[in-house]
């Protein structure tokens, strides 16, 4: 299962009831934080999420509303007992920005490992068991990354296949847990020799501060949940969205109508949008499975086809 929590849903500036946009995903003992604007540590506390448990920090880009909360967040992680290394990913400029911000948090009881991602295509950042975190480029006024979290699900054990491949019975159970196993003669067997085809896993996408792009639309396809910016509600703001490299509700809805993810949550609302509910119905006529994200909104996704997850 994958737990997703929106910590904040504000873009540019925090407003009453909206911390700056940030989200946390927890899955199989790994916690991933997406963006860290000012106040993110407060939002995480309000959502009852342990700061010290964050293993991976994915930064979209270096506008203040996405990174200014980093020094305080790192300090709180240390106070909460973090001692093992933390990986921070972000686009070009990561090292310079985080090094500067760390002047405010120079002494941390854990190692901070920086990974600057320069890419024009999707790239896998980390794979932990069946969980994989990847980044892909967006189109903003500065280098900006979207992220995907994929929980892959291997196929079921297939006795006929194991027998057909002459896999010794004592290795059957082991090969359901590891990639390969060796018998006493040194012969190597791989897990695909005993498992059926991969089953549908859980796939999530997060992208903010971007214009619509062909790659983003492609990446949205087949996802259980896409968390996307809803910077502007009204179509009257389209020109402004183009100028500032953001999106309107209907621009997102049109991409979704083609990519067909299971569900979309809006986040990163402009401070000039106090009433996103005014515009959601129009966007839902284009793609019905749109929801307005709110601070603290949470869901737990399980494997789609049965309950043994």
Q: Which residues are catalytic?
A: 65
142 closest CA partner among 177, 118, 107, 173: 118
DSSP, residue by residue, 150-184: EEEEPPPB-HHHHHHTT--GGGHHHHTTSSEEE-T
Tell whether residue 91 is a contact of Zn ion (CB under 5 A): no
Nearer to Zn ion, 12 or 301 (CB): 12
How many CB atoms are closer than 10 A to CB 163?
Answer: 12
Instruction: Kindly state the smallest distance separating residue 43's Cβ from Zn ion, in Å.
Output: 15
Decide if 47 contacts 24 (C-beta within 8 A): yes
Decide if 300 contacts 27 (C-beta within 8 A): no
Nearer to Zn ion, 66 or 82 (CB): 66
Instruction: Kindly state the smallest distance separating residue 209's Cβ from Zn ion, in Å.
Output: 4
Tell whether residue 115 is a contact of Zn ion (CB under 5 A): no
Mask 68-87, x = binds Zn ion (CB under 5 A)? --------------------
Instruction: Kindly state the smallest distance separating residue 61's Cβ from Zn ion, in Å.
Output: 6
Nearer to Zn ion, 65 or 87 (CB): 65
Tell whether residue 39 is a contact of Zn ion (CB under 5 A): no
Per rule CB under 5 A, count of chain residues that contact Zn ion: 4
Instruction: Kindly state the smallest distance separating residue 196's Cβ from Zn ion, in Å.
Output: 44
Tell whether residue 143 is a contact of Zn ion (CB under 5 A): no
Mask 169-208, x = binds Zn ion (CB under 5 A)? ----------------------------------------
Distance of alpha carbon 254 from alpha carbon 251, whole angstroms: 5
Distance of alpha carbon 182 from alpha carbon 96, whole angstroms: 47
Tell whether residue 63 is a contact of Zn ion (CB under 5 A): yes
Q: Which listed residue (35, 38, 65, 251) binds Zn ion by CB under 5 A? A: 65
Tell whether residue 209 is a contact of Zn ion (CB under 5 A): yes
DSSP, residue by residue, 245-308: T--BHHHHHHHHHHH--S-EEEE-B-TT-S-THHHHHHHHHH-S-EEE--TT-EEEE--SS-S-
Of the candidate spans 55-63, 106-114, 115-123, 276-284, the one that interacts with Zn ion by CB under 5 A turns out to be 55-63
Tell whether residue 150 is a contact of Zn ion (CB under 5 A): no
Distance of alpha carbon 61 from alpha carbon 193, whole angstroms: 43
Task: Give the residue carrying structure tokens 């639309």.
Answer: 217
CB-neighbour burial class of residue 25 (10 A; exposed 0-12, middle 13-18, buried 19+)? buried
Tell whether residue 90 is a contact of Zn ion (CB under 5 A): no
- For residue 212, what is the enclosing H or E element? none
Mask 4-33, x = binds Zn ion (CB under 5 A)? -------x----------------------
Instruction: Kindly state the smallest distance separating residue 9's Cβ from Zn ion, in Å.
Output: 11
Binding site for Zn ion (CB under 5 A): 11, 63, 65, 209
């Amino acid at each position: 299962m994958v737990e997703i929590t929106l910590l904040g849903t504000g873009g540019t500036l925090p407003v009453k009831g909206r911390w700056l946009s940030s989200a946390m995903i927890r899955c199989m003992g790994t916690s991933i934080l997406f963006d860290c604007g000012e106040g993110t540590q407060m939002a995480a506390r309000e959502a009852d999420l342990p700061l010290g448990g964050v293993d991976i920090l994915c930064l979209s880009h270096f506008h203040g509303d996405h990174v200014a909360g980093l020094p305080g967040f790192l300090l709180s992680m240390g106070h909460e007992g973090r001692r093992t290394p933390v990986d921070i990913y972000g686009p070009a400029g990561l090292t310079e920005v985080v090094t500067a911000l760390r002047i405010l948090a120079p002494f941390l009881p854990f190692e901070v490992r920086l990974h600057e991602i320069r890419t024009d295509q999707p790239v896998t950042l980390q794979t932990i068991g069946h969980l994989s975190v990847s980044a892909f480029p967006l189109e903003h006024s500065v280098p900006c990354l979207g992220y995907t979290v994929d929980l892959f699900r291997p196929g079921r054990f297939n006795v006929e296949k194991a027998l057909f491949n002459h896999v010794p019975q004592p290795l059957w159970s082991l090969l359901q847990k590891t990639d390969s196993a060796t018998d006493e003669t040194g012969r190597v067997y791989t897990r695909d020799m005993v498992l059926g085809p991969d089953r549908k896993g859980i796939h999530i996408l997060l992208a903010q501060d971007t214009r619509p792009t062909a790659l983003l639309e492609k990446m949205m396809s087949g996802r259980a949940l896409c968390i996307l910016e809803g910077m502007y509600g009204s179509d009257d703001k389209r020109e402004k969205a183009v100028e500032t490299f953001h999106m309107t509700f209907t621009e997102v809805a049109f991409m979704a109508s083609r990519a067909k993810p299971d569900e979309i949550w809006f986040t990163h609302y402009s401070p000039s949008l106090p009433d996103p509910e005014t515009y959601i119905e129009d966007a839902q006529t284009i793609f019905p499975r749109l929801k307005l994200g709110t601070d603290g909104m949470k869901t737990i996704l399980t494997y789609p086809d049965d309950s043994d997850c």
